[in-house]
Chain A
Amino acid sequence: MITTLLPLALKSLLNRQITASLTLATLSLSVMLILGVERIRNEAKESFANTISGTDVIVGARSGSVQLLLYSVFRVGNATSNISWRSYKKIKEWKDVAWTVPISLGDSHRGYRVLGTTRSYFDHYRFGYKQNLQFSNGTHFNDLFDAVIGWDAAKTLGYKVGDPLIVQHGLGDEGFLDHKDKPFRVSGILAKTGTPVDRTIHVSLRAIEAIHIDWRSGAPVQGLKIDADQVRKMKLLPREITAIFLGTKSRFGAFSTQRYINTFSGEPLLAILPGVALHELWTLMSTAEVALSTISVLVVASSILGMLTMLLASLNERRREMAILRAVGARPVHIFALLIIEALTLAIAASIVGTFLFYIALFISQPFFDAHFGLFITIQPPSDLDAIILISFISFSTIAGALPGWRAYRESLKNGLSIKT
């Protein structure tokens, strides 16, 4: 039956080139859209979940867990208050703690956040599937005023190892107070991670202390001037830090450490488990995610409805064709199958064209997503999810084809062989 009807269906569709190709275009675009949205959604979710890994607990001043995650990991927003160095040292000594990375935020450089930390940052900070930070050029900080910059920052600002860099006070734009008197030098550039690290300027905690040594309450102190060379000779101990990334000796250690910090007696602190907080943050955004998915499903549904309209509208002008087929021996079930095959053909063609368009779009938009959202979408063969989407699309289209099929079937039963024009 299929060998008889498939060529007929194809030729009949070709005979209606304009409507058929417009329908195909609509279907293909909707396939491209849904594949695209699902891919971006998954990549975003994945990249989001992989922003930080290997860190068991994040500690900050007491606030909300999402807020702490946002400023410590995503460099979004500000800490309401800091952690005293004393508390940091106490936490470091806690029995379950294996390592700690103190970080200090608050300054910026041309829109990029400056993060003060220690060398342990480069040993323990991990992202993705527990990948370490890699240097693409240069090394850690050796001098007090060395800076290690993320890939995107280096690329956008055009910095190379050895270039000078001036840190601005606060997070404002240019024109704010800056630390002109103590210029930094780029000592290393990190390899791309696809995380906020790429947009971060890393300096040592001591350097953060050094640039603020002659400052009080957020402004330079009049008459007090300590220049770069003098400060190098000073003993620089941070008074405060913004957050701590820490690793525990065992998995369960994370819970006891969390409890210890949340009930810390010295000052009000908050400890979060990054996985839980990431999930919590993602849930906040899931409304947008669901909205996006819903829209793309609706677009697909409307394109299938469009095909249905096209097939149903064509039935009227095809009554003669159906009657001729009946007269040469086609049974009503053949007429039904013919329309189902037409819908199936359109759906399969749209899946192929749509997938093709999807890859072209992916290829074109990849640098855009990377540059604007720090979302690096890998181009890989269709996933299981893509296959499920395409198979459901084809199934639904075929099921939709049953409606015109059924109508044509009824018509052909009713009209018999008479050709009514």
Chain B
Amino acid sequence: MAESALNIKAVAYRWTETEPWSLKIGELILSRGEHLFISGPSGSGKSTLLNLISGILIPNRGSIEVLGQPLADLSGPSRDRFRADNIGFIFQMFNLVPYLNVLENILLPCRFSNSRLKRILGASSPEFEARRLLTHMGLDPVRYGSQPVTELSVGQQQRVAAARALMGAPGLIIADEPTSALDTEAQIKFLDLLSQETTKSKATLILVSHDQRLAPYFSSTLAIPAAEENR
């Protein structure tokens, strides 16, 4: 059996010893290729959960396995490397490096992760792959490829960010409120493109949003209750 994409057991996290738990999760198992929607009001610990999955925060209790790798077994620098190799990120906004053009932004993950570069080199070249992903995200590489990212609309920027997250086929895509800055129409379009492409690259998608209307697009959902009920 293939390892799970995510395996969280009895995880609890709090910022300091004296504080109440800011997040408690009994069990969360995600198989590969699954699309998970995480919702919850602000302050419920959604971001904390993402930081735990990315290995930026270490849980006080419990264990987290990402793509079969127990994060607790990794040192700080190896967690950094593991994250660079296996997780693509999309944030709410300001995803792009302002002084790089569209294609340069998409190519960034291959510059910092050798395994993401190698996965591309098997079948294609990084530049070719970047153009392909950009096309799939609905942006013409000829027209947009060498444009400064500052000239793009927010919706276009998010699509570039999505293409970048998919570069080098990381096993896990984490999207943190990626549609909050978009209008409804753009939200639907973006989600469609993102889930299509994630499915194609067989990646697991974890998307966090406070907006319950997005839930129907996902194969599974997790609602994190408000912080008070967590205690």
- Residues of chain A touching chain B, judged by Cβ–Cβ distance below 8 Å, are 4, 8, 11-12, 14-15, 320-321, 324-325, 327-334, 416-419, 421
Residue from A320, A327, A330 with most neighbouring chain B CB atoms (10 Å): A327
How far, in whole Å, are A416 and B81 apart by their CA atoms in the complex?
14
List B residues 20-68 near A (Cβ within 8 Å).
Answer: 47, 51, 54, 56-57
How far, in whole Å, are A75 and B11 apart by their CA atoms in the complex?
92
List B residues 172-206 near A (Cβ within 8 Å).
Answer: none
Q: Is the CB of A327 within 8 A of B91?
A: yes
Q: Is the CB of B56 within 8 A of A14?
A: no
Q: Is the interface of A mostly helix, strand, loop or mixed?
A: helix
Q: Is the CB of A421 within 8 A of B99?
A: no
- The answer, among B56, B99, B108, for a CB contact under 8 Å with A417, is B56
How far, in whole Å, are A11 and B104 apart by their CA atoms in the complex?
11
Given the interface pairs A332-B80, A417-B51, A419-B94, the reply to whether A15 lies near B99 with Cβ below 8 Å is yes
B171 at the interface (CB under 8 A from A): no
How far, in whole Å, are A332 and B84 apart by their CA atoms in the complex?
12
Given the interface pairs A416-B51, A416-B56, A419-B91, the reply to whether A329 lies near B109 with Cβ below 8 Å is yes
- Residues of chain B touching chain A, judged by Cβ–Cβ distance below 8 Å, are 47, 51, 54, 56-57, 77, 80-81, 83-85, 89, 91, 94-100, 108-109, 111-113, 116, 164
Q: Is the CB of B84 within 8 A of A329?
A: yes
10 pairs from A and B in contact (CB 8 Å cutoff)? A14-B99, A327-B89, A329-B109, A329-B111, A330-B84, A331-B84, A332-B80, A333-B77, A334-B112, A417-B89
Given the interface pairs A12-B99, A329-B109, the reply to whether A416 lies near B77 with Cβ below 8 Å is no
Q: Chain B contacts of A11 at CB under 8 A?
A: 99-100
Q: Is the CB of B77 within 8 A of A331?
A: yes
Given the interface pairs A417-B51, A417-B54, A419-B91, the reply to whether A328 lies near B112 with Cβ below 8 Å is yes
Given the interface pairs A4-B111, A4-B112, A331-B84, the reply to whether A416 lies near B99 with Cβ below 8 Å is no
For the A-B complex with A328-B89, A328-B112, A416-B57 known, give 16 more contacts whose Cβ atoms are closer than 8 Å: A8-B97, A15-B99, A321-B97, A324-B94, A327-B91, A328-B108, A328-B164, A329-B85, A329-B108, A329-B112, A331-B77, A331-B80, A331-B112, A416-B51, A416-B54, A419-B91
Min Cβ gap B71→A in Å is 14
Residue from A328, A334, A417 with most neighbouring chain B CB atoms (10 Å): A328
Q: Chain B contacts of A330 at CB under 8 A?
A: 84, 112
- The answer, among B81, B96, B111, for a CB contact under 8 Å with A324, is B96
Instruction: Find the A residue at minimum CB distance from B47.
Output: A418
How far, in whole Å, are A331 and B85 apart by their CA atoms in the complex?
12
Instruction: Find the B residue at minimum CB distance from A333.
Output: B77
